[in-house]
Amino acid sequence: MPADARNLTGVWQGLYTYPNGESVSFVATLIDSGGALSGSTHEPCATTVAAGGTLYATLAGTRSGTAVEFRKIYDGKVPRYRAVDYAGTLNADATEVEGRWIIRGIWSGKFLMIRPARHAESLESKAAQRA
């Protein structure tokens, strides 16, 4: 796959899972500038401190080939939440990133992010095949 096709820029639907099996959904908006990642997330807050609210965080990291790493830093409105490191692998058609998250010294779990297939690229490929 060409490096350009691995660009992660876009909106991703995600799910991270705690060690006890509970999962939390999130939405990540990523900007991939030549492998340098930035962006933001929002997710429901399930703690009693801000139950029913929304948590916001910023992202910064890297993409190198199929390896994806970023740090998520919450905006500080809920003191319990801190920096979370994510490391995952991009699938062959650049529509999924799967891996692990970790809060150093506390706990870790799995995550999965998915985005729709790039229809424009698919249409271009089909048009080129028919030409």
Within 10 angstroms of residue 94's Cβ, the number of other Cβ atoms is 20
Q: Measure CA of the first residue to CA of the last residue in the chain; give whole Å.
A: 21
Helix (H, G, I), strand (E, B) or coil at 130: helix
CA distance 94 to 101: 19
Lowest mean pLDDT among 33-42, 50-59, 68-77: 50-59
Domain boundaries, position 91: 3-130
The number of folded domains in the chain is 1
**pTM score, whole prediction:** 0.82
pLDDT tens digit sequence for 82-129: 899 999 999 999 999 999 999 988 889 999 999 987 544 444 454 455
What is the token pair recorded at 12?
Answer: 């991703």
DSSP string, 75-99: -SSSTT---EEEEEEE-TTSSEEEE
Per-residue pLDDT averaged across 32-53, rounded?
A: 83
CA distance 25 to 99: 15
pLDDT value at residue 118: 59
Per-residue pLDDT averaged across 28-51, rounded?
A: 86
Give the CATH number, domain containing residue 118.
Answer: 2.40.128.120
